[in-house]
Chain A
Amino acid sequence: MKIAVLMRAVPDPVEELELDGADLDRDFLGYVLNEFDDHALEEGLLLKEESGGTLTAFALGSADEVEQMLHTAIAKGADTAQKLGDDLDPVDAHAQAATFVSAIGDGGYDLILSGVQASDEIDGQVAMLVAASLGLPHVSVVVGTTIGDGSLRVTKEYWAGITADYDVVLPAVLGIQTAREAPRYVAVARIRQAQESGALEEVEIDQPENSSGVTITGMRLPEAGEGAEMIDGDEGAAAGRVLEILQAAGVR
């Protein structure tokens, strides 16, 4: 099985965000691998191991952290990785999808995996935009796969823990929510090895152009703690107040 995994760098979800006009203030923003893409990589690696196939990881060079992300993917078991462009300005999901589609080209991939969503995809989900533009079948919100006879059995989560199984004839695109196993850990020494392996290819591309027809004109941070009583003081004061609240609610 020949597998492609599409990975995105997204603003670190634990960081406090600041705004600059109609965008985030990106000057000091840290980026991490989109957590769902991490699961897509893990599911891809499991399938590669089971099928004796190959896996290539792709990412747009839109943040300094991207090289490290791709080296980590190689250290975990990706055969090759492609960094598409360097020092690119962030672009919408349509432009990302179009860039991935050009990079995948006619590479003959049986399976294209990416995370089910990313926190900045205002104009659609990259995995499914790729599927639609390649005219490939797709299943999204995938929480596990099993290799079948001539097809792939895919478990899709609906909601509230309800899941459905589908048989998918390859080639196909999957939007992964959760890999069937937690993303594997990889030692720093292995990542260093990957850096020296030459498995990361840097592909020169022009800055992609937004093409979704959706333009952000303004951004706001929702009013923090609107309506909430914010507790002042240190952890002792907080614990004391919480105990009072528990007592008032009659659960203590």
Chain B
Amino acid sequence: MSNDILVFVEHLNGEVTDATYELLATARTLAAQTGGSVEAAVIGAGATGLAASLGGADRVLVADTDALGAFNPQGHAAVFSGLVASREPALVLVPYTSVGMEIGNQVAVANSLPLVSYCLSVDASTGLSATCQLYSGKVEADVVVDGERAVFAMLAGAASADDGRSGGAAVAEDVDVTIPDLAVSFVGIAEPEGGDVDITAGEVLVAIGRGIESEDNIEEAQELADALGAPLAASRPIIDQGWLPKTRQVGKSGLTVKPKVYLALGISGAPEHLEGMRDSATIIAVNSDPQAPIFGVAHYGWVGDLFDFIPELTERLDG
């Protein structure tokens, strides 16, 4: 094995994602601990052109192939698994994203390596250990890993993307690509359609979460939003239930918002939600659970029943 850190490069539409730059920043810190270097593997058609934007790595492994024109869960995983097998890095970093999730599990199993998920930080100075977020961000766990090698799936925000962007030019190295027969084939990509309401445009946003309990209670939250002249947004569970349209979703799989005031009602604050709203200028959170992670990013908080709070505030706004 080597002392190197191997980073999976996630890219879409010819651009390397921020999640990748965050991994490169984390990898740089880890490489100083292991005494190794940072390698980045970029896979797919057009990979050669992306190597120049990966100066945060010491070496870029380029697997440029027209056979993988877009991300393919099976094809990319097979190529990356092969690179992990041949390069034998000490640590492998993947982003905990829609793409990285498919890669991490596959690569770990194929190479008989442990996989640590939901990572906030990783330490390789004495053995391998990590701090992870469990139970939708309600718990932080310290973990240790058996052995000297492992795959780590990093949560968004674990490091600064800007730190991973810096650096000179990495050495690019073309690697041989062998792609197995694929049972998964890419058909096409779809961008989201515009909606009835643009939640990214509001100065104030009222956002509801699981605490709203039922579809019938949405009306009450809508009245509060109307009194404020604000759009009504929501976290994923509300959208998945079909109670509000997808265009109202804040978070990783929805939209990123930065209003002047974000009023979070009954939202616990899972990492995926925080990713979409944590840069709001003022965050006010109402939740019945004093341990809810939303209070970790809120500027103001009240612990209590949102069904007591909503009519009280609506009345004051109307009055």
Contact = CB atoms under 8 A, between A and B. Distances in A.
A188 B312 CA distance: 35
Interface string A94-125: 00000000000000000000001101111111
Interface residues of B, number: 98
Residue of A120, A160, A183 contacting most chain B CB atoms (<10 Å): A160
Interface residues of A, number: 87
Given A123-B116, A157-B253, A214-B115, A219 B298 contact: no
Nearest to B255: A160
Contacts of B253: 141, 157, 159-161, 177
Interface string A5-29: 0000001011111010010100000
Nearest to A221: B291
Contacts of B1: none
Given A141-B98, A213-B145, A215-B144, A225 B117 contact: no
Given A182-B240, A238-B302, A245-B282, A219 B186 contact: no
A235 B143 CA distance: 40
Interface in B237-258: 237, 239-242, 246, 249, 252-256
A219 B312 contact: no
A156 to B, nearest CB: 7
Contacts of B301: 225, 228-231
A140 B101 contact: yes
A167 B12 CA distance: 19
Interface string B175-195: 000000011111111111000
B241 to A, nearest CB: 5
Nearest to B309: A235
A171 to B, nearest CB: 9
A195 B74 CA distance: 40
Given A213-B146, A217-B143, A249-B260, A229 B300 contact: yes
Contact of A224 (B115, B240, B290): B290
A17 B291 contact: yes
Contacts of B303: 230
Interface string B286-311: 10011111011011111111001100
Contact of A222 (B228, B263, B293, B309): B293
A96 B99 CA distance: 23
Contacts of A81: none
Contacts of B281: 249
A249 B282 contact: yes
A164 B101 CA distance: 15
Contacts of B12: 158, 162
Interface in B272-294: 281-282, 284-286, 289-293
A144 to B, nearest CB: 11
B52 interface: no
Nearest to A138: B73
A220 B133 CA distance: 10
Nearest to A156: B98
B47 to A, nearest CB: 18
A147 interface: no
A222 B240 CA distance: 27
7 contacts: A24-B135, A138-B73, A139-B102, A167-B184, A169-B184, A228-B296, A229-B300
